[in-house]
Structure 1
């Protein structure tokens, strides 16, 4: 998989895994709602420090023969914090729908403040070509760490102004080596599997004629659980011997099945992104700005009355077997085949899993009342008539959040609200099944 090209000062070639994201045009949208006074100059300096330390943030994507590369932007082109006054809800919708086009900066930071400057929305957007969920969260927290040190007057130890950018290594160079014949055998088995078990997708409830522009826009339906219900859901998972991820995936699969016509079982697919950072040797820190994710696709026969715990045990067991075999490395090696064989990642539901992560640490007098991570992209395909349903799952400070981004040219807000509400009801039922005599630790 290695393209054989090393970083050379002002540019670094993209590996096959990173190149896949160029065509997808997807991005991570980190945001937090703030209450209190923000020192705009310090926040601007903090963002500048992040882009200086992390060259991908101040780069553009360029064509390089049959591939692509990252090239540093000129000083007057690099991204800077932008600020404006406005409504938080409207600002979030605008930033969610504002792309990071090829040829422009791969990051953006925006602060939108109320007229009295006491409430704010901060949005950090990063192209998925150079990040994944874990590194984007780490970047967001590091930015606020820098802000805190600046406003509190603590000394900093950056390499700001360094003449030699430190480019992160592509993950394709860090995975263990493999025999080409073994990779080809694995690819053949995967292709046979997806041909034997084609999955059904959730039909759109919107037609092209429902939108004057034929395109629609991105919206997000969201469910959250408070700390108590999140803890109870974790307890249910432990009592059942499964992960919270498996419980959520099972609930999503059941909800999706009830959006399909007909009786009996249907073949559905569940795609679980798999973090490679902790599985590399040595482990790759979350601060490394590279996409370090592969996927696991499994197909299941799901009835409209499927028992969530039964589904969860299947999801959990298959994912564990996949990891124990080391197939996550095989899966990453066949990434270049995905554009030619999209069924390798075609699923009914896509369920991310960031786990429990900390929110930003802020200086005294500034509070973050909400933190969000939502994936978005430029291209949706209303002409397809159906697609996977995406659920972005993360627990900031021990409170579960599941985000459902969608294009209104595909699914209406009412459709996705009902889908979200059914998932939430299912998770609450699972949380209520927790045994109260067992404490949740870790």
Structure 2
């Protein structure tokens, strides 16, 4: 049994990227129940127990045999940090399962790391978070003895419909005109990229692996940053994007304005009719690329207003629909998505709900890829932004043969300082007057 991949989904086949959800746990874990919960998730979601197969000039999702489908992998005794690094670097190769679940437990049975990896061909950030939470909902139900959810009436797997098939009607000539305008814009204003430093840094000569530098803010500081955005009439996403742009500009050196690009993924689920459920395992995102002139003297708040306003105009015009339609052109014209910084935005999301006696000490979402290209000499800087239970977290994944750990630590620290300056400014503004 199979489902044909749409042109947009096929783009991810070549990119070989994956969402990596992880959860550090404290307390006892019923391994049998967790294994059964993962089996229930793969049974209810055929993409998780599928592989990518060639079908003529295109690709399909083909169900794996019973002996091939992914099962929970368990290990004991590994260091949590080392286990996370290993799973972050373990690919989901074409031809194999599109999901993997791993539980690494300490010898005392009270400390665990759970990692869920899902191929981006069949998911995006929102649906991978929903899947992770649904898995733990299922685990909680099993541990607490609640009845299982019923299977579909006919027992057949239900493939989610590709988002590209749910787009509203569009005139082909208008889409072609939009593509021409986008190509002309990137030709006239190409974004500068951040040069790699690993040729001379601690990654020099190494084969390279994926690492993640992480920035987290406590709930109180996150609230102050949200207040700063609200007071300025912009989104938190815009404040983060502006801070990243200013930080990237400092890495380029020289004087005067430089053309930098900001790529913002745009969630389509709520913008389609009918809306696509968050739990639907499909990549339901498009992107917005804008270029801005940034100098060493640029005010981050003004950059934020520019980013916020242009993204709002993009959505108001309905250009996100055209952008989704031209996605198949990206392999031929990669400049359509070439930016100085890539800033995702998952928003504020809940963490997993666990049974009594088990708690989540931390939850993370980071993207990873199978292929990196140190020979390119430069690339965008990626920032994966999500707030689990009100705490802002920004993950900076990087390949050590491109950007060295020390480079990304310094980049992360500069971004933290910029965000804290916004949050501090929110504290110094007078509170709005109350009436009544």
Describe how 1:259-274 pairs up with structure 2 within 5 A.
259-274=251-266
Distance across 2 between alignment mates of 1:369 and 1:344: 39
Q: Does 1:280 align with 2:259?
A: no
1:85-142 CA distances to partner (integer Å, 9 max, x unpaired)? 1111100000000000000000000000001010000000000000000000000000
Distance 1:408 1:309 in 2: 32
CA RMSD, Structure 1 to Structure 2 (Å): 1.4
Quick check: 2:133–2:352 contact (8 Å CA) kept in 1?
yes
Aligned: 1:341 with 2:310:
no
Q: TM-score, normalised by structure 1?
A: 0.95
Contact in 2 for aligned 1:208/1:383 (Cα 8 Å): no
SS at match of 2:38: helix
Alpha-carbon offset, residue 305 of structure 1: 2.2
Partner of 1:3: none
Looking at structure 1, the residues matched to 234 and 200 of structure 2 have their Cα atoms a distance apart, in angstroms, of: 41
> CA deviation digits over 1:67-94, x for unaligned, max 9?
1000000000000001001111100000
Q: Provide the secondary structure at the position in 1 that maps to 2:169.
A: coil
Q: Give the aligned partner of residue 408 of structure 2.
A: 416
Which ranges of structure 1 fall in alignment gaps of 5 or more residues? 1-9
TM-score by length of 2: 0.97
Question: Which residue in 1 is equivalent to 2:431?
Answer: 437
**Equivalent residue for 1:405, pick from 397, 402, 406:** 397
* Map of 2:45 onto structure 1: 54
Q: Deviations over 1:269-317 (max 9, x none)?
A: 0000000000001111110000000000000000012111000000000
- 2:108 matched residue in structure 1: 116
> In the alignment, which of 31, 38, 59 is matched to residue 68 of structure 1?
59
**Residue 307 of structure 1, aligned match among 299, 302, 306:** 299
Equivalent of 1:36 in 8, 27, 32: 27
Choose which of 135, 146, 158 in structure 2 pairs with 1:143.
135
TM superposition shift of 1:437: 2.4
Q: Deviations over 1:291-347 (max 9, x none)?
A: 000000000000012111000000000000000000000000001100000000000
Give the 3-state SS of the residue equivalent to 2:266 in structure 1.
Answer: strand
Q: In 2 relative to 1, CA 263–78 (structure 1 residues): closer, same or farther, beyond 3 Å?
A: same
Matched, 1:317 2:317: no
Aligned to 1:381: 373
Query: How far off is 1:177 after superposition?
Result: 1.1
User: What is residue 6 of structure 1 aligned with on the other side?
Assistant: none
* Deviates further, 208-217 or 23-32: 208-217
